[in-house]
Amino acid sequence: MSERSALTRLTGNGNGECGEKDCPNVYRTATGSFVVQGDVSAAFTPPAGEGLVEIPEAVLREAFRALGW
């Protein structure tokens, strides 16, 4: 896994309800993939090596705006 400093933070930069706190966020990696930080979800059991997180819709919308989508 990448070091956090190597990720581009797309959300939680002071514009949302969490500000700059460590709450649900979306990050972009140098290779163009995404890392999502959120509350652990128990919706189903994912395969070994994977995890589920739950984030608010507003966080995804903020990430899309940051990417110009």
State both tokens at 48: 């070994």
The per-residue pLDDT for 17 is 64
Residue given tokens 């070091």 in the structure block = 3
**How many independent structural domains does the chain possess?**
1
- Say what the pLDDT of residue 18 is: 66
Q: Model pTM?
A: 0.78
Within 8 A by CB and 6+ apart from 62, the residues are 10, 11, 12, 15, 16, 26
Q: How confident is the model at residue 44 (pLDDT cuts 50, 70, 90)?
A: very high
Range of the domain at 42: 4-67
pLDDT for 2: 55
How far is it, in rounded angstroms, from Cα 39 to Cα 56? 10
